[in-house]
Structure 1
């Protein structure tokens, strides 16, 4: 029975208990949902949970049933005490629990780990600590004394409703604050909410949407799914990345990582606030204090793992298509690219190379010359990558298909809920079984299959697809097990298809470490680990793996492409946000299918997409079998010339890009980054996701609109060198933080170099990275004080363990007082002595030089309107001093 007393106060009788005076005077934007399962709902259903009921017209996302300020069934904090790692306590429910949508656990354990001065971790588990936890290897913290000068903790009073605040000390901003709503903790339902200090929130993927997350009741599901992206995106996609970066009102940043691999969702609301829900596992949160966004990502990758060091050839241009139909046609494209002198380092094949679409085979009729194709590529310094799907066909006769026979014999397959037989699905070859990549024996199994295939076709990298795991049916041929709470949980986040087993296997299926219900979204990550391991064993060189499905730490083992994007201008535009988000997720080797995968492109779109794709960290053209051909050589001669020029810019900048990947590998840095990462105090940058930066030194402003021949580019305050106004000629620009209109005819993509940076470049003179000479060029752009700095990392580009073996060099470039110096910061002097500097372009020199000397010897130079080009006698880069006098 419900008696209405005032507009904001109810008296509620529940199970013969009187709960008096609920405080329901809560603004609509501050309501936290108390009944997320369904709408509409009745008042009785709501008040049985002890919650407030008030229908809201005009926005269906605003909760009708929401928590009162004095919720009667909230956990209270007891037994809080200091321990060696920080704090621990108990959370208890003082009253009888209500179904929400499952019975909540009566006693929980709170553990707060004061791990580092800029990192706090807290876990909430049941007191027996026997729930599933994500098997992520986090580096151990050795020190026992914790520095808390950068943050403070505030707990609720003992025997009061539990809340936790993590507060930045110098600004008093709460970076995590659970006081907005009570936590809920049941066997298959977890919920926790936090205030957000601003609406500038980024991450929470995988999304195909704007970079900054909409906080107007945005609901984001996390559950790896085979779903082609849409614009705007409303459904969960291939990967699961429950991590966000938030910019606070004063420009400082922090990050929050929810370490949980079960199906979950995040609901953002205008308060601003965020509510996490998961249907399994535990609450395990990391909070990173930054204070700048680049540091937040570095702190995050210190937990999940820093990115792999890619082979240099993988930074070249890649070409692929589903629908080459024959190996001879595939080679024909390679030869046409060579003839057109368009750079290409890697040729790929999609599933049409396979025999009956079965893994680890090739069609001996249509692709009979595939081994010869790979030999041809290798003879020209090029490389080969092919697709592999996780589904292993069970159609061939016993003994005729080793991948299936070995999987059964080695017992490395996913099982049904009885653990008695393999669970089956249907994908490209028909009915299949699925390897269990969480099983330790998967490593010898997977390596054996790839080794056997490599002996026939000596591939260089592996493209793993369909690993959500994708299924062409819902569940299995035998149907998912009825009347169980794994396939049909009490609460299902708003995942695409409405069911956890939509286009995938039954969550009740069993794997080595747990049920698929727990580890489903880890499939892609564990397959990446097994594939990376196999490539190291087989090739004895750096592995190159590109995966569709990803989870935190995937960047340690490979890269990602953004899936089945469409050949549309809207997908071109939103791809920038996707590339930037995955760099935040610690997966810098990322790109979208250039020119689009689905549908048919047109020449203008393909040109503009290639110009942008030349600055994707992973640069690959790939399209669908049903679409029109879109390789560069399928376009007009004019288009080929434009595309060639764009790719030559990429190849020229490869030393800089390679150095950024080195910094990512060593420090956990981003490679492609949003403008606000470099200019966090400039609020104008917070919404920009149509421009981006390579590292801190290069700004890219691509053309993203049909028919456009200009770009409105925002230049943050500082000195920039690049195009301005109606001309594409480069000149110095002193910006106060302003938008400039830049000429961008179809032949151009606007690029600006930031003052204060030295950009190392290569002397591109061939079709591949391998054929690029060991000669280098420096672009040195001074800041207002005449200073600049930069680095160049270099090694042989393909060997394992070059850093630990010392087979590398890290050069440092410093410019000040009319002097540019190159020096060895780390590594091998022998490697540096074999590198030659042939040209230095100085920008921002405020005088006409009278003379220029290199290592004390006069050298020729040219002075243009805005630059000095210094010709050098190919000096060894171990130590060079260049001076100019005015």
Structure 2
């Protein structure tokens, strides 16, 4: 890594407000591709622009700003004294106009003359060495590699169904740039305030935030995988998931009753479809109250959960982050205990709880998970819930935090905190939309600063509470995430739609969350909103069978489409490869690797047409790798007892390598125990070798000759199989 060896002393210059009008030949001053927006908020005009000392000039280039800073505008910071050089890998450039710029290992170049550091507004522009920029979230991006044609992305956690350019559930101000020489680097702006970033074709990036500090971290790679390893070393390695959580999972908002739930489970078992985890959405609760269950429509739920666990399955319950305050005193323990312990987010007075509206009828208060007392309260409630409903994991939803009103009752006060001078490019350009007022008070300070940390602050306490309740490796699935959330939980891509584009865009989202250090990631298979179609859902099942987190989840009243045979076949492929997927997660947990592979460079130059009938999904293996596999079964509990196999895909040199990590699948912590019977009692019964150029006449395994009747050879010369 590169670092500063000396302190650089700079002096701020206030932004110019009243300046002369510029030459009408404005396009000569700054090339269009180099324009930095001087009026990023709506309502720009020539009069407003020039009042800021900026240039107004129209252009035909889509999305390019018409109001932009002059090239040498003295609005930022200038050098006070002489420039001092730091390490060889660091550069300071003393411009003729007395401005200072910084270059970090030639990867991150920012002129301090382009830095604005004022009350409720910070801005800095940096050039990047190529247009191959990835990351920034959470958004629905139309491509993995971003467009640099003046695209702007806002980051502020919001209960918002996936929509292009809209800020969604989480905040990840991290990007990776692959340079022209194929080296890569990554940059994190560690800031939780509302913010946006503009990507310009110069190429450059302009960061704007309305609070906090400009706290940048640079990760120098040099490979993309190295960048993510270094990034997760800084923010926290991804958690090690339980083996069972890699199995297929089923969910629905609106089963409505335990009878419907039982019929769903029975149908999966009848068709022999691999299936490990059943989820319950909010309809299992009594009137959608956290830590309760509906004793009428879901009568017998505790016993049924126990029955499924005895059959080798696992159960996940949803919990929302709002607690009803309208129940009769003494009748709803979560509220009574929380009120006694003082765990709520408060109004601006710091004393009275903020009251909003969410799923429970009436009014709700919001736990403040940054408060240590709230962690104790939440842990206690999760432990008490475990005594009633024997869950294996917890799914935390609506934790942006979502609020059905615009701010809490009776509305947000008129002040600069609730209505800052600049609101980043977020949905509705409103901070209080679908959440609490920014001047609400949390343990760490104003909600203005901590809003996007809500889901992150809830995830770790839920992880530890679940681990304490179950005594096993925790399963936590969170809708809202922030930098470092992957250390304690996974994520799904939210309330997507049953449309072909959503299936396509899910791949981009999954790749991005691997960049963000949250590899336990998936999307609602077949879509959450709208009714799906047979072909779409079938293709989505085939794709979703290879998501790291594989779950079919849809909204209430959506139709159920049956296509058991094909679903069973594609899920059996997933289950056969679970030892490989589990090993990838181990590598991610220990070394920070991504759970996913890059596309070979040769594919970028060639095209291939592959048959893909509706009943099959093409699956490719990279040459040079060995994949461990295991005979599939209907649950991971059963499949883990089956014999292993190997798929060996040779490279052009006739070589391949691979690894396998194996443990009991759900123990807490890292340990080595010689004599673990789960591993040495399992056998390899099939070894498949792909890419043989010559027919083998003899085969040796661990130095021992294998009998001729113990192996077969496919006549096209590309496959051989050994059977034990």
TM-score of Structure 1 vs Structure 2, range by shorter chain: over 0.9
In 1, Cα distance between equivalents of 2:210 and 2:150: 20
Alignment counterpart, residue 603 of structure 2, candidates 691, 697, 716: 716
1:46 aligns with 2:38: no
Q: Do structure 1's residue 468 and structure 2's residue 400 form an aligned pair?
A: yes
Larger helix proportion of the pair: 2
Checking the alignment, whether the CA contact within 8 Å between 1:328 and 1:369 is kept in structure 2 is no
CA distance in 2, matches of 1:360, 1:244: 39
> What displacement does 1:771 show?
4.2
Secondary structure of the residue aligned to 1:672 is coil
Among candidates 702, 706, 709, match of residue 858 of structure 1: 706
Distance 2:298 2:232 in 1: 42
Q: Secondary structure at the match of 2:99?
A: coil
Counterpart in the other structure of 1:792: 660
Q: Gaps (5+ residues) in structure 2? A: 1-17
Task: Confirm or deny: 8 A CA contact 1:7 1:25 kept in the other structure.
Answer: no
Structure 1 Cα separation of the partners of residues 364 and 216 of structure 2:
37
1:666-708 CA deviation, whole Å, 9 max, x = no partner? 0111102442xxx5xx4xxxxxxxxxxxxxxxxxxxxxxxxxx
Decide whether aligned partners of structure 1 residues 335 and 670 sit closer, same or farther in structure 2, where only a CA change above 3 A counts.
same
- Corresponding residue for 2:4? none
SS of aligned partner of 1:441: helix
User: 2:355 is matched with which residue?
Assistant: 424
8 Å Cα contact 1:568-1:596 kept in structure 2: yes
C-alpha offsets along residues 355-376 of structure 1, whole Å, 9 cap, x if unaligned? 0101000001001111122011
Equivalent residues of 2:228, 2:592 under 8 A apart: yes
Superposition TM-score, scaled by structure 1 size: 0.76
User: In 2, distance between residues paired with 1:157 and 1:613?
Assistant: 54
**Aligned counterpart for 2:99 among listed residues 161, 182, 195:** 161
Conserved? CA contact 1:32–1:181, under 8 Å: no
Mapping 1:612-623, distance limit 5 Å = 612-623=543-554
In structure 2, what is the equivalent of residue 293 of structure 1?
Answer: 224
Determine the C-alpha separation between the residues in 2 that align with 1:830 and 1:344: 25
Cα deviation digits, residues 500-539 of structure 1 (max 9, x gap): 0000011110000111111101111111111001011111
Q: TM-score, normalised by structure 2?
A: 0.93
Matched pairs, number:
700
Partner of 1:565: 496
- CA offset digits 1:214-245 (Å, max 9, x no partner): 11111100000000113xx0210001010011
The answer to whether the 8 A contact 2:50-2:56 is kept is no
Q: Which residue of 2 aligns with 1:554?
A: 485
When you count strand as a share of all residues, which structure comes out higher?
1
Instruction: Check the 8 A contact 2:650/2:691 in 1, yes or no.
Output: yes
Question: CA-atom RMSD, angstroms?
Answer: 2.1
- 5+ residue gaps, structure 1, are 10-22, 88-147, 168-173, 683-714, 718-736, 808-826, 873-886
Q: CA deviation digits over 1:796-824, x for unaligned, max 9?
A: 001101x2x214xxxxxxxxxxxxxxxxx
Q: Contact 1:207 / 1:236 at 8 angstroms: preserved in 2?
A: yes
1:420-464 deviation line (CA, Å, top 9, x unaligned): 100011011031000001111222111111111110101000110
Equivalent of residue 115 in structure 2, options 173, 183, 186 = 183
- Asked whether the equivalents of residues 311 and 542 of structure 1 are also in contact (C-alpha less than 8 Å), the reply is yes
3-state SS, counterpart of residue 656 of structure 1: helix
Residues 121-145 of structure 1 show CA distances to partners (whole Å, capped at 9, x for unaligned) of xxxxxxxxxxxxxxxxxxxxxxxxx
Superposition deviation, residue 748 in structure 1 = 1.1
Q: Look up the match of 2:15.
A: none
**Structure 2 CA distance, aligned partners of 1:3 and 1:836?**
82
- Cα distance in 1 for partners of 2:34, 2:79 equals 24
Pairing of 1:123-162 with structure 2 (within 5 A): 151-156=89-94, 160-162=98-100
Question: Does the alignment pair 1:278 with 2:209?
Answer: yes
Higher relative contact order (CA 8 A, sep 6+): 2
Equivalents in 1 of 2:21, 2:90: separation in Å? 42
Corresponding residue SS for 2:627: strand
Aligned to 2:11: none
Give CA-to-partner distance per residue, 1:554-608, whole Å, 9 cap, x none.
Answer: 1000100000000001111111101100011000001000000000001111110
Q: Is residue 871 of structure 1 aligned with residue 723 of structure 2? A: yes
Shift of 1:177: 1.1
Query: Match of 1:742, SS?
Result: coil
SS at match of 2:402: coil
Q: Note the 1:484-495 alignment, pairs <5 A.
A: 484-495=415-426
The match for 1:205 is 137
Q: Is the 8 A contact 1:308 1:558 kept in 2?
A: yes
* Equivalent residue for 1:55, pick from 57, 67, 76: 57
**Structure 1 residue 790 displacement after superposition:** 0.2
CA separation in 2, counterparts of 1:346 and 1:246? 38
Contact 2:77-2:112 at 8 Å conserved across structures: no
Aligned counterpart for 1:589 among listed residues 520, 528, 551: 520
| Residues 643-677 of structure 1: per-residue CA shift (max 9 Å, x gap) | 100000000000000000000000111102442xx
Residue 33, structure 1, aligned to residue 37, structure 2: yes
| C-alpha distance in 1 between matches for 2:217 and 2:617 | 39
* Secondary structure of 2:111's aligned partner: helix
- How far, CA to CA, are the matches of 2:344 and 2:20 in structure 1? 58
- Counterpart secondary structure, 1:868: strand
**Residue 77 (1) aligns with residue 71 (2):** no
Q: Give distance in 2, aligned partners of 1:674 and 1:190.
A: 36
Q: Mean alpha-carbon deviation: is it higher for 829-838 or for 62-71?
A: 829-838
Which whole-Å CA distance do the structure 2 matches of 1:497 and 1:437 have between them? 27
SS at 1:622 equivalent: strand
Aligned to 2:672: 806
Q: Distance in 2 between matches of 1:651 and 1:184?
A: 53
| Counterpart selection for 2:534 from 603, 607, 610 | 603
Structure 2 equivalent of residue 726 of structure 1? none
Q: Distance in 2 between matches of 1:46 and 1:553?
A: 39
Would you say the 8 A contact 1:470–1:504 is kept in 2? yes
The Cα shift of 1:626 comes to: 2.9
